A and B are shown apart, each in its own frame.
Chain A
Amino acid sequence: MSTWSFLSPAAVVFVLASPAHAQQAGSHVLPAGAKLFIAPMKDGFHDFLKAAIVDKKVPVTIVEDKSQAQYEVTGHSETEKASAAKKAFMLNWHSNEQASIQVADLGSGEVVFAYSVNKKSSAHGKQSTAEACAKHLKKKIDSRK
């Protein structure tokens, strides 16, 4: 038996056990053309997200039936409308927006992508946060990491 044939299994075990091999949150690949189901979110944010995915040309297919999907997008969105004080003293009518989404593989249950955004005095309200989410989703797919 050669030295290498003896060492190979040990080396494999060592590499697998090393912390450097440990996966990070969202380290899985999200392939282009994947079928995504966008779950309903608070204040209809899912509709803004669908529009943003189309607008930003994210290479995924959105399906309305969860059973046909490979991935599920869940999330949360919150809008804080400008108060009277903000309008009066800061002369600012824009809302503050925050949103967060996660994409989970429906087969393995693993979260492959997650992103959160906070926009103060958002120029276009929910549309801005949804487009930020879509932009970063596209970046994730394009990176193939």
Chain B
Amino acid sequence: MAFRTLLAAAVVLMSSPALLPAQTQPAAAKAEAGDAMLAAPQQLLPAGARIYVAPMSNGFETYVVAGFQKKQVPLVVVAIREKADFELTGVSESDKAGWAKILFLANDSTNETASVKIVNLRSGEVVFAYSVNKGSSARGKQSAGEAVAKHVKKKIENPSYGG
């Protein structure tokens, strides 16, 4: 009985991290931390962050905000820059269908191009950037705005996603 108790205590003591040799402990901790960093990249754009969408050419900012709502992006959009943690800026361009496209392709859809970036207003760091080009866009600016929103959501859900 006493031998069994001693054996159990020995097993517990041997498995305790406090009893590991002094040199091996920091190395093990470092390796563990390194694994954690590889496994979970730093969350640069956290869910629930407050974002300000700056005015863009052709009112594209409102299409981006509408895209955020449609795609259920987990961010709080604010209309006042001072109340935001992040700022989304960008450019957008629409190319209307010419007569040749209408005549030969029977298609009057526009070509849409947009590019956005999200900056952390505290650190000034660009945390996300994305550009989209839609030839014969089914729904004009709305399609481009929703594409931006979809990729922002992807970035929030998967921090290692590059955009």
B73 touches A25 (CB 8 A): yes
Choose from B60, B63, B77, B139 the contact partner of A111 (Cβ within 8 Å). B77
How many chain B residues touch A (CB < 8 A): the figure is 40
Q: Chain A contacts of B48 at CB under 8 A?
A: 19, 21-23
Please judge, given known A-B contacts A25-B73, A101-B62, whether A111 and B79 are in contact too, CB under 8 Å.
Answer: yes
**A101 CA / B96 CA spacing, docked (Å):** 22
How many chain A residues touch B (CB < 8 A): the figure is 38
B106 touches A111 (CB 8 A): no
**A118 CA / B108 CA spacing, docked (Å):** 13
**A109 CA / B83 CA spacing, docked (Å):** 8
Choose from A19, A21, A42, A108 the contact partner of B59 (Cβ within 8 Å). A42
Where the two chains meet, the residues of A that have a C-beta atom closer than 8 Å to any C-beta of B are 19, 21-26, 42, 72, 74-78, 80, 83-86, 89-90, 96, 98, 100-102, 104, 108-111, 113-118, 120
What are 8 A-B interface contacts by the 8 Å CB criterion? Answer: A19-B47, A74-B62, A86-B102, A109-B80, A109-B83, A110-B78, A111-B77, A114-B62
Interface stretch among B11-19, B20-28, B140-148? B140-148
Q: Chain A contacts of B106 at CB under 8 A?
A: 89-90
Q: Chain A contacts of B68 at CB under 8 A?
A: 25-26, 114
**A70 CA / B72 CA spacing, docked (Å):** 24
Q: Chain B contacts of A120 at CB under 8 A?
A: 108-109
Nearest-neighbour CB distance to chain B for A118, whole angstroms, equals 4
Closest A residue to B43 using CB positions: A19
Closest A residue to B99 using CB positions: A85
B77 touches A26 (CB 8 A): yes
Choose from A26, A76, A102, A118 the contact partner of B139 (Cβ within 8 Å). A118
Is B65 at the interface (CB under 8 A from chain A)?
Answer: yes
**A76 CA / B145 CA spacing, docked (Å):** 13
